[in-house]
Amino acid sequence: MTKQPTPAELAQAELDFNVSDEEISQALQTWSQTNDSQDFVKVKTVTHPILPRNDCKNVLITSALPYVNNVPHLGNIIGCTLSADIFAKYNRMREVNTLFLCGTDEYGTTTETKALEEGLTCQQICSKYYKEHKKVYDWFNIEFDYFGRTSTEWQTKISQDIFNKLNQNGFIYEDKVEQLYCEKCTKFLADRFVEGTCPFCAYNDARGDQCDKCGKLINATELKEPRCKTCSSSPIIRSSKHLFLDLPKLTPKLEEWAEKTVDKGHWTNTASVITKAWLKEGLKGRCITRDLKWGTPVPLEGFEDKVFYVWFDAPIGYLSIAANYSDDWEKWFKSPQNVSYYQFMAKDNVPFHSVIFPSCLLGTSDNYTLVEHLSGIEYLNYEDGKFSKSRGTGVFGDQAKSTNIDSDIFRFYLAYIRPESQDSTFSWEDLQSKNNSELLNNLGNFINRALAFCEKSLGGIVPKMVLTNEDAKILARINQELKEYDENLQKLRLRDGIKNILNVSRIGNQYMQAKKPWTLVKGTDEEKVQGSTVIGVCVNISFVLSTLLYPYMPNVASTIRKQLNLATFSVITEKENYDSENIKADVYSNPVYYEKFYNFVKEGHQIGKPEPLFKRIMDADVKLWKEKFGGVQEKKPEDAKKDKKGGKDKKVEKKEKTPKEKKPNVKPDAKVDESSVDAKKEEQQETKPSEAQ
C-alpha cells in the first residue's frame, strides 16, 4: 500500500519552485546589499499645484466624471474612480510625478430631470450631490489630488473656445433635426427626457441617447413607442435647428492618432475593440447641441437658446477641472511630449473618450495632450440582476458604510472581481468566501503567524538570519511575483495585481508549513538558527505584503507597518469643507515600492503588537445584507408584467423595517491566529493555504 505524504511533506514539495540558479544568486545578492539608509516610507509635503517636471515621468490620471444627479453604486466606483485611485497610489509609491483629477459632471438632462423630481433648482441639485459624491469617495479612501465640478466659468470658457476653433477650422455644420416634441409640456424633449423601446435589442427602458442593455447609441426619434419622461405622454416629431460635429471630415486626423495610440498604449481589449469598431463602421456627423437651459451656452448667433450636448461638453470637464485647480493647467493638457495620460471608465463611456473627445481636441490644432492609455472595462452586475437605486437593488456608495464592512474589504473585493474582459457579478456569498479564505485564512493568517511567533518565541526581536539555498529560493520566487505585480499594474491589469499579492502570502504560508520554525527553535543550535531565519524572512515577507497592498488596501497596509513597529503612512487628509472646490492635500505619506526583495526589517529590530487583521464574515451577515440590498425580488411574473404596462415601473412597496435593524455580526476571527503561537497546534493542524481562484 502506497504511503500517503503528510501535510508537511506536501508543503515541502510545494517549495520546489521553478527558479533558476541565477535568480537565486541575484536574490541573495540583493538581500545582502541592503543598507540602513533605505527609505521605506516617503513623507511628502505637496506643493500645489502639482505640475509636470522635466526630470522625471509625469502621469496624468482622470476617471470618467460621475453624473452629479445620484450616488454612485459599487459598479460605478470600480469602473472609474477606484480603479484610477489604485493606479494613482501605485504611481505615487513608485515616486512618479502624478496628478489625479476627477469631479462631478453637472450639466445636461440628468441634472434637469433630478431637479424636477426633487423640486430643487439645478444648481441646488449639483451642490447637494457634489457633497454626497465627495463623502462616498472619502470613505472609500479614493485620494484625488483635486475633485472639482463642471458647472464653472472655466468650463464655459474652455468649451466655447474649443467649439469656436472647431467652427473656424470647418468642423462644425448646421442641420435640421427631426426631434420629439411634447405637446403637453410644450417643449422639445432632449434625449434623456425620452424613454422607449430600443430599436436594436427591444429593451423597454432605453433612453433617447443610448440603450443601457445593448450599449448602442441611438437617436430619440429611433425609439419605438417613445414617451415623455416628465408626463408619460406620447411626443410628436417636429423639426429643430442644431449644430453637428463633422466627424467624417475629422476621421483622417482621428485614424492617424488611433493608429499610433490604441495598439501601442495600455488599452483594455474592450476599449480597443469598441474604438476600432467605430472607425471601421465609419463615423457620422454628431449633433452637439440640445434644447435645454442647464448647460454651457452655444456661442453662435441663432443658437442662443441652446446648450452643448453633455458628451461634447463633459470630457472638456477634465480640462476645466484642471484649470480650476491651477492657472498652469495647460502644462498638463497641452504638453503631449512630457505627459502620459491615463483614463479610466466603463465601456459605455469609451466611444465618447476614444472617438468624440479626441476628435474635438484634434480639430482645434492646439496640441492638446490626448489619452495615451485607456482602461475601459465591462459592467459589474449585482447578484442575479443589475444595480438599481429605484428598486433598492445593490449597494450604493452612501450605503456601504452601514454594512459594517471596512472600506478596504470593499476595495479588495471590487478589485478582485474587476470586470476587465467580461461582465462580472458582485455576490455576497463570493465576498464572504474571498474575505474568509483569501484575506483571513491566507493573507491575514500568514502575517499574524509570523509576527505572533516572533513575539512569543523571540521576544519580538527580529533575529539574525543565515540564509540557506532553500531560503534563497523563497526570495527568488517572491522576486518573480514582484516583477509580475509591477508589470501588471503598469499595464493596468489591476485584478492580476491582487493575485500576485495573494501568491506572495501563499508562498509565505507554504514556507512556514514546510520549515516548521516552532519545532526548529526548540532543537539544536543549528536548528535554532534555521528556525530563527525562517521567522526573520517571514517578518520581511510581511513587510513586502504591506507595500504591495497599499494601492488596494491602504488602511490594512498601514496597520501591518504599525504591527512591524515601522513608520506608517496616511491617506491624504483633505479639507472638510465639501462646499469648497479647493479640496487638495497638503501633506501625505505613502510607502516606497522596491522591485526586489531586500532585507527590509533587519536583525535586532523590535516589532510591535501583532493583532488579527481581518474579521470573519458569518452566514447570518450574508443573509442580512442580501435582504437589505435585494430590492423587490419576490414579485411574480404576472405582477411584473402588470407593473411594466405602459413602459413605466409602478412604485414598489418599501420593505417593512424590523423593530431594530440588526447590525451585521462581523466578528474578529482570533482562533485562526491563536494557532500561530502554539507549536503543538501547528504540528497537529498543518493547515494548507487555500488556492487562488
pLDDT, tens only, 40-68 = 776 666 677 899 999 899 999 999 999 99
As a whole number, mean pLDDT of residues 163-182 equals: 95
User: Is the full-model pTM beyond 0.75?
Assistant: yes
Return the closest-CA partner of residue 555 out of 403, 399, 410: 410
Confidence label for 409 from pLDDT (cuts 50, 70 and 90)? very high
| Predicted pLDDT at 572 | 53
SS3 sequence, 52-90?
CCCCCCEEEEEECCCECCCCCEHHHHHHCHHHHHHHHHH
Higher pLDDT, 649 or 338: 338
Is 453 domain-assigned?
A: yes
For residue 71, is it left (φ>0), alpha (ψ between -120 and 50) or beta? beta
pLDDT at 503 over 70: yes
Percentage of the chain modeled with pLDDT above 90: 73
Q: What is the spatial distance between Cα 295 and Cα 291, in angstroms, rounded to a whole number?
A: 10
| Predicted pLDDT at 2 | 61
Is 231 domain-assigned?
A: no
Is 620 domain-assigned?
A: no
Is 625 domain-assigned?
A: no
pLDDT at 69 over 70: yes
pLDDT at 599 over 90: yes
pLDDT at 580 over 50: no
How many residues does the structure list for the chain? 693
| Predicted pLDDT at 35 | 58
The DSSP letter of residue 199 is T
Minimum mean pLDDT range among 505-509, 523-527, 630-634: 630-634
Is 537 domain-assigned?
A: yes
Give, rounded to a whole angstrom, the gap between the first and last alpha carbons of the chain.
34
Is 415 domain-assigned?
A: no
623, containing H or E segment: helix 619-628
The DSSP letter of residue 48 is S
Enumerate the β-bridge partners of residue 103: 148
Asked if 174 and 244 touch (Cβ cutoff 8 Å), the reply is yes
Minimum mean pLDDT range among 91-95, 214-218, 362-366: 214-218
Minimum mean pLDDT range among 514-528, 545-559, 579-593: 579-593
HSE-up of residue 252 (Cα within 13 Å, Cβ side): 2
- The residue segments making up the domain with residue 30 are 11-40+441-613
Is 143 domain-assigned?
A: no
Asked if 403 and 435 touch (Cβ cutoff 8 Å), the reply is no
As a whole number, mean pLDDT of residues 424-432 equals: 98
Q: Please give the mean pLDDT across all residues of the chain.
A: 87
Asked if 68 and 111 touch (Cβ cutoff 8 Å), the reply is yes
Is 27 domain-assigned?
A: yes
Q: Give me the torsion for CA of 554, 555, 557, 560, rounded to 10°.
A: 170
Asked if 339 and 369 touch (Cβ cutoff 8 Å), the reply is yes
Strand 340-346, strand 380-382: pairing: unpaired
Return the closest-CA partner of residue 290 out of 303, 281, 278, 299: 303
pLDDT at 519 over 80: yes
Q: What is the spatial distance between Cα 374 and Cα 353, in angstroms, rounded to a whole number?
A: 9
pLDDT at 182 over 60: yes
Domain count, the chain: 1
Task: Output the CA–CA distances (angstroms, integers) from residue 129 to 114, 134, 671, in the order listed.
Answer: 10, 8, 43
pLDDT at 388 over 80: yes
| Predicted pLDDT at 45 | 62
Give the phi and the psi of residue 205 in degrees, each rounded to 5.
-115, 40
Q: What is the CATH number of the domain that holds 598?
A: 1.10.730.10
For the stretch 292-334, pLDDT in tens is 899 999 999 999 999 999 999 999 999 999 999 999 999 999 9
Asked if 644 and 583 touch (Cβ cutoff 8 Å), the reply is no
Higher pLDDT, 337 or 577: 337
| Predicted pLDDT at 113 | 84
